[in-house]
A and B are shown apart, each in its own frame.
Chain A
Amino acid sequence: MNAGAQPGETDTQPVPDDTPVDLEAAFRDSQVQEVLDKLDRELVGLKPVKTRIREIAALLLVDRLRRQLGLITETPTLHMSFTGNPGTGKTTVALRMAEILHRLGYVRQGHLVAVTRDDLVGQYIGHTAPKTKEVLKRAMGGVLFIDEAYYLYRPENERDYGQEAIEILLQIMENNRDDLVVILAGYKDKMDRFFLSNPGMRSRIAHHLDFPDYAAEELMGIASLMLAQVQYRFSPEAEKAFGDYIHRRMKMPHFANARSIRNALDRARLRQANRLFARARERLTKRDLMLLEPEDIVASRVFSEGVPDEQLSGAGPK
């Protein structure tokens, strides 16, 4: 070690302006690319979201380099709001976000605490503050994900304790910026109304990400990914049938993007199991256990009656 160099003295010695900066090496070392690749591979579509995550990753890396060279760095505010229709991947991205921010050294532990109104708001006077603080403490060092955040604010009831939770939230979001990242999520229109009535919240959130609905081809890609995860696959005819299913289902009410796809696949697996039982006396192979056939899909009510299976199930008209 250099005998003269005391800790802390390096700050006072200015680094010359033409010091070379190896951004690429820093990028490699942080292993962020790995996470971004995984994001690309496992999440279909979501172009604007991925772009923003890339930008945030770049900013944090540049900040880290600046700090190494003794330049002033201000910790950026990374509180976010995710808006989008049901099933567009808000929670999944939030989970990834925790991992990315952890790799970049922005949050220390990198865990995700997912909560809703129930976890933050108390039932009687004086109950809310400790409850909210408890959750916030649990989330410190990681990411706090508040799903359907607009339920925190109920304008129709002026004695609602939600307002108290919001105030504590704002206070900690401001004062403990280094300790946690807060992500609010919800449907677009309701979130907009929520921010309108809580301008303080809007200004403290730097990143507003909008999750677009998936196109039919993207949903097909999601379906194949979901099936591959549980080691199933479509037969070519079944794939065609499922494509048809997606088109029909998208036009129906209560379509919840990827979530509807997952439900449809779950039911298809149910029907496949039933079909296999019906022909149990034949010789079945491993392939039979993995393959989804068109009849597993066209049996859906989406085809016969034009209504989604989720509705009326069990309680439908006789």
Chain B
Amino acid sequence: MMTNHGSRITQGTFSFLPDMTDEQITKQIQYCLKNGWALNVEFTDDPHPRNTYWEMWGIPMFDIKDAAGILYEVNQCRKAYPNHYIRLTAFDSTRGTESVKLSFLVNRPKNEPGFGLVRQEVDGRRIRYTIHSYASERPEGERYR
């Protein structure tokens, strides 16, 4: 039984929706900027849900007024890693929050093979379950072609 058709990973906001167009991404960025959040472009080719810390594309962007500046970096990152997952994270520096407020994917590989269920038999015939992404069977950098 497939519950997640096409094995698209669903991490971050909007991930159950169809991929956003650049125009839609621009609007989301503008919303973040309006709230004074610092945006950061991150990428990875390890789709495991527990892989929280992705590679950073440059440093987080402060002091930017218009979405075009952020989208420019997103496009640079897409050019360098067309087949990686790329996400934007919006960091809210307000005291007491100091955390990511919004995070969404802006790029994903063309083919996402999805995850397999791994069963491990431990003492007493108990079963431990975990998931394993088919993509990560290959070494880093060669996972999505």
Residues of chain A touching chain B, judged by Cβ–Cβ distance below 8 Å, are 108-109, 111, 130, 133, 136-142, 176, 178-180
Q: Which B residues lie within 8 Å of A140 (CB)? A: 64-66, 68-69, 72
* B72-A142 in contact (CB<8A): no
Please determine whether B65 and A138 come into contact, CB atoms closer than 8 angstroms: yes
Q: Which of chain A's residues have a CB closer than 8 A to the CB of B68? A: 108, 140-141, 176, 178-180
**B55-79 residues at the A interface, CB under 8 angstroms:** 58, 61, 63-70, 72-73
A176 & B72 in contact (Cβ 8 Å cutoff): yes
| Shortest Cβ distance from A142 into B: residue | B65
Q: Which residues of B contact A138 (CB under 8 A)?
A: 63-65, 69
Closest Cβ of chain B to A172, distance in Å, is: 8
B66 touches A179 (CB 8 A): yes
A137 to B63 Cα, complex, angstroms = 9
Q: Chain B residues near A141: list those with CB within 8 A.
A: 65-69
Decide if A109 touches B72 in the complex (CB within 8 Å): no
Distance (Å) between the CB of A128 and the closest chain B CB? 15
Contact of B73 among A109, A137, A139 (CB under 8 A): A137
Chain A nearest CB from B67 CB (Å) reads 8
Q: Could you say which residues of chain B place their CB within 8 Å of the CB of A133? A: 72
Residues of B within 8 A of A109 (CB): 65-66
Task: Name the residue on A nearest B61 (C-beta).
Answer: A137
Contact residues on B (Cβ < 8 Å of other chain), bracket: 10 to 19
B84 to chain A, nearest CB (A): 21
- What is the bound-complex CA distance between A141 and B33, given in angstroms? 12
The distance from the CB of A313 to the nearest CB of chain B, in whole angstroms, is 37
CB distance from A111 to the nearest CB of B (A): 5
Please, what's the 1-or-0 string for B11-38, where 1 marks a CB less than 8 Å from any CB in chain A? Answer: 0000000000000000000000000000
Complex-state Cα separation, A133 to B57, whole angstroms: 14
The docked-state distance in angstroms from the alpha carbon of A9 to that of B65 is 34
Known: A140-B65, A179-B66, A180-B68. 8 other contacts (CB 8 A): A108-B66, A109-B66, A140-B64, A140-B66, A140-B69, A141-B67, A142-B66, A179-B68
- Across-interface contacts of A178 in B (CB, < 8 A): 68
- Bound together, the chains give a CA A109 to CA B34 distance in angstroms of 11
Q: What's the minimum C-beta distance from A212 to chain B, rounded to whole angstroms?
A: 33
Q: Which 4 pairs, one residue from A and one from B, show the smallest C-beta to C-beta distance? A: A141-B66, A137-B69, A179-B68, A140-B68
Instruction: Give A10 to B68 CA distance when docked, in angstroms.
Output: 28
Whole-angstrom distance between the alpha carbons of A138 and B63 in the complex? 6
Task: With A109-B66, A140-B64 as known contacts, state yes or no: A130 contacts B58, CB within 8 Å.
Answer: yes
Cβ contacts A to B, 8 pairs, < 8 Å: A109-B66, A130-B58, A136-B69, A141-B66, A142-B66, A176-B72, A179-B69, A180-B68
Please, how many angstroms separate the alpha-carbon atoms of A139 and B64 in the complex? 8
Contact across chains for A111 and B72 when beta carbons are under 8 A apart: no
Residue of A nearest to B66 (CB): A141
CA distance A285 to B72 in the complex (A): 60
Contact partners of A130 in chain B: CB under 8 A: 58
Q: In the complex, what residues of B have CB within 8 A of residue A179's CB?
A: 66, 68-69, 72
Tell me the bound Cα distance from A130 to B68 in angstroms: 16
Taken together as a complex, chains A and B put the C-alpha atoms of A159 and B140 apart, in Å, by 38
CB closest chain-B residue, reference A178: B68
Q: Which residues of A contact B73 (CB under 8 A)?
A: 137
The answer for the CA separation of A136 and B67 in the assembled complex, in Å, is 12
* C-alpha gap A111/B63 in the complex (Å): 12
CB distance from A77 to the nearest CB of B (A): 17
**How far, in Å, is A318 (CB) from chain B's closest CB?**
49
Identity of the chain B residue whose Cβ is nearest the Cβ of A179 in the assembled complex: B68
Question: Which residues from chain A contact B66 at a C-beta distance below 8 Å?
Answer: 108-109, 140-142, 179
B-chain residues with CB within 8 Å of residue A180 when the two chains form the complex: 68
Write out, one digit per residue, whether chain B residues 72-100 have a CB within 8 A of any chain A CB (1) or not (0). 11000000000000000000000000000
Cα distance A245–B67 in the bound complex, in angstroms: 50
Q: Which residues of A contact B61 (CB under 8 A)?
A: 137
